[in-house]
Amino acid sequence: MPASTRDPATVTIERLPDGIVVLAFLVPDHRLNVITERVLRDLDATLDALEAGQPPRGLVLRSARPGSFFAGADLGRIERLADRPPAEIEQACAAGRGIFGRLSEAPWPSVALIDGVCLGGGLELALACDFRIATTSTHTTLGLPEVKLGLLPGWGGTVRLARLIGPGPAVEFAAGGEPVDAAAARRLGVVDACVPEQTALTSARRLIEHAAARAGHIARRRRLAAPIVLDPAERGFLEAVVAAVILGRTDGHYPAPAAILRTTLAGIGADAAEAMRLESATFATLATGDVSRQLVRVFRLGERNRRDPGVGSGDDDASADAATIERPAVVGAGIMGAGIAASHVRHGFEITLVDVNAAVLERSVTGILDEAAWDRAAKRTDPVRALALAGRLRTTTQLSALAAADLVIESVVERTDVKRQVLAEIERTVGPGTVIATNTSTNPITKLATALGDPTRFCGIHFFNPVRRMTLVEVVRGPATTDATIATAVAHVKRLGKCPVVVRDSPGFLVNRLLMPYLHESVEMLRAGIDPRRIDRVARAFGMPMGPLELYDMIGLDTAFYAGLVLDEAFGDRIEASPVIPALVKSGRLGRKTGAGFYLYDAAAGQRAKPARPDEGVAALVAPYALPHRETGDRMIADRLLLPIVLEATRVLDEGIVRDGRDIDLAVIHALGFPAFRGGVLAWADSLGAAEIVRRLEPLADLGVRMHPTPRLADMARRGGRFTAEVDA
């Protein structure tokens, strides 16, 4: 029988009868294994013990925690390093890298047995081993996501990966930051084999036996430590092409992908030790930069959201009385209802879809299954999977099919009278414990709730279009909605892979209320004679994924018109309905879906169409509503577009629309595409400072109350307050 000891606490050392030693990691106080300072100390001490005693024939590194090899480095450690001098950060990188390097310097071969999540520093640990075996489990994923935190691997990842799979694939893997499954990792050459979990340890032992018998691991180490010689033309082509791709993805706002390219190409021409020093220096530069700080904060916001039950403070794992939904249903097979149904099918639910129009219902089925079976990597639908998923979708024209549902999401046309009628019929059909929700962007939950006998189980679950791509979902609390209803809705939305933000019922909820000032101001500038392409260019230069006029066209001008009416009624002093939008709608210009809006489009390309050029006919429609021309620089255009979002965010905070200001930053990033490298609208406001915002608003004061500082902003400017200091504390 193998002897087993447990010393130190995060590592179990098991000696097998054939002389192979298995190190199994289990990091306490974490849901997944992460590489903490304690793990590094324990690994270092374990290697000391192995070297001092009877040498092992080989070493296997594995996790004792199911589903997690290592999910990366401890984020708290990264945050603490960011405040240290660059030289100290480089030293910390070298220390961790030195411990990992002991695996590739020991006389015995080593194998990383990867079952579950293997990301960031966890993959760097695996790369320091001689060989890697991944299990075929669906939970096994490998990646270097540091780029999403504005960083690059700091423990030798860029160096070892480039020598293992080649510089081109290595840059693509690290600069993209997306994890891959075990089979894809095997095709790339990141792992040496993919095997079932049950045979993984046996395979690792055989690999060690084979390597030890032929000293194959020693020869491999020598090859992977040597410089890589690239033909100058090949290197130039690689650098030019990859740099162009990176610039296209980042618009120059995110320094880490370009740094990964530069560091990898510089490192392949040097020996491994020098290449790793270059990597550490680059890591230190990125870690102390503002982009990384903001991206780490955004990651923290996401982690907090994943723990948040939707009620209470949201800052802990407080349990909530949430029911687990097993029998969901959707009423309405239009674009949104079909998208919501597809999301359920994709995430393993059997879903009932009801629509009284049999033709609409029938037409929706193919699209739902195509969406559900969409392959992100291949960027196309997997027809085999679509066929396999068909059994999860049940369609019917009869509301009686809802009788056994435990959640019903109503998603019919955005007319209050129709929604009220449908909701009342749903309540008469379902059981008393069923949660009833509405997917609406404009209808007040309070008004819709009056159609129900029991409004305590009613809430809004507002998905954004397109459902597959948009991760944010607003869970809207009405005045009678119970905590249990909210907690159930939040938990269910998370099971769909979405990011739920709980908001209090009010016109526009949260996202549309923040969006409309941005859209409205773009049309006001258009009325003042500013070129539409310039307005959109300035917005994109700030970091928005598209300009406001392009966004109008994507949303649909008819949809925007109705949303604008709701907000005009509630906040007409600052978000008044523009006369330009109804004029465009009346002319048949509805945006991408009709091939014309503010811009012209290829109608055959549908929602994927790119703006071809401004629609010259728009100028004639705008002319009757022209405003006096005013000299406007690019920075003032940006201020006019974006500062009203800050002002509206302060009102949202004052009115208690969200439980926590951090939800505002999360929402604008996930729903509006507000640049993550700026940390969200409140973090961006802090980067300017309240006093500077007030100063920038002064020359815009004649535009009306929409440009006047709110009392909260004025107070912060006087006392030097910070938004994120108030909400992140």
Residue 272 within a domain: yes
Residue 301 within a domain: no
Q: Please report the pLDDT score of residue 726 as a whole number.
A: 54
Residue for token digits 């075929």?
136
Residues of the chain with pLDDT under 70: 1-8, 314-320, 603-609, 726-729
Give the domain-ending residue among 475, 505, 535: 505
Whether 487 and 526 share a structural domain: no
DSSP 529: T
**Displacement of CA 314 from its chain's centroid (Å):** 19
Whether 355 and 412 share a structural domain: yes
Q: Are strands 3-5 and 11-15 parallel, antiparallel or unpaired?
A: antiparallel
**In this predicted model, what pLDDT tens digit does every residue of 562-586 receive, in sequence order?**
888 888 888 878 888 889 999 999 9
E-only strand ranges, 426-576: 435-438, 458-463, 472-477, 499-504
For residue 602, report the phi and psi dihedrals to the nearest 5 degrees. -80, 105
Active-site residue, 462 included: yes
Residue 307 within a domain: no
Whether 41 and 162 share a structural domain: yes
**Displacement of CA 473 from its chain's centroid (Å):** 13
Residue 160 to residues 142, 164, 264, 378: CA-CA distances in angstroms? 15, 6, 10, 27
Give the domain-ending residue among 287, 320, 353: 287
Whether 490 and 518 share a structural domain: no
CB 441 within 8 A of CB 419: no
> What CATH number is given to the structural domain containing 432?
3.40.50.720
Whether 520 and 497 share a structural domain: no
Whether 278 and 422 share a structural domain: no
Whether 192 and 222 share a structural domain: yes
Whether 135 and 255 share a structural domain: yes
Give the domain-ending residue among 262, 287, 312: 287
Q: Which helix (H) or strand (E) segment is 273 a member of?
A: helix 272-287
By the 10 Å C-beta count (0-12 exposed, 13-18 middle, 19+ buried), 130 is classed as: buried
Total count of domains within the chain: 3
Q: Which of 698, 673, 690 is nearest to 726 (CA)?
A: 690
62: which strand partners?
Answer: 24
CB 331 within 8 A of CB 341: no
> What CATH number is given to the structural domain containing 581?
1.10.1040.50
Residue 106 within a domain: yes
Residue 51 to residues 20, 63, 82, 107, 218: CA-CA distances in angstroms? 14, 22, 34, 10, 18
Q: Are strands 380-381 and 599-600 parallel, antiparallel or unpaired?
A: unpaired
Coil, strand or helix at 289: coil
Residue 158 within a domain: yes
Whether 540 and 468 share a structural domain: no
Coil, strand or helix at 518: helix
194: which strand partners?
Answer: 134
Residue 198 within a domain: yes
By the 10 Å C-beta count (0-12 exposed, 13-18 middle, 19+ buried), 529 is classed as: middle
Coil, strand or helix at 675: coil
Whether 486 and 525 share a structural domain: no
DSSP 504: E
DSSP 722: -
Give 455's contacts (C-beta < 8 A, 6+ positions apart): 449, 478, 479, 480, 481
Residue 712 CA to residue 726 CA, distance in Å, equals 12
Tokens of 439: 């997917």
> What CATH number is given to the structural domain containing 31?
3.90.226.10
Angle at 397 between CA 396 and CA 399, to 5 degrees: 95
CB 641 within 8 A of CB 522: yes
Residue 293 within a domain: no
Q: Name the CA radius of gyration of the chain, rounded.
A: 28
Whether 483 and 566 share a structural domain: no
Residue 286 to residues 202, 294, 454: CA-CA distances in angstroms? 41, 12, 54
Set 217, 344, 462, 520: catalytic member: 462
Residue 88 within a domain: yes
DSSP 19: S
Angle at 210 between CA 207 and CA 211, to 5 degrees: 85
Whether 501 and 516 share a structural domain: no
**Displacement of CA 74 from its chain's centroid (Å):** 19
Q: Please report the pLDDT score of residue 719 as a whole number.
A: 93
Residue for token digits 């690999």?
207
DSSP 297: H
Question: Which residues form the domain of 409?
Answer: 328-505
Residue 204 CA to residue 186 CA, distance in Å, equals 15
Residue 499 CA to residue 504 CA, distance in Å, equals 17
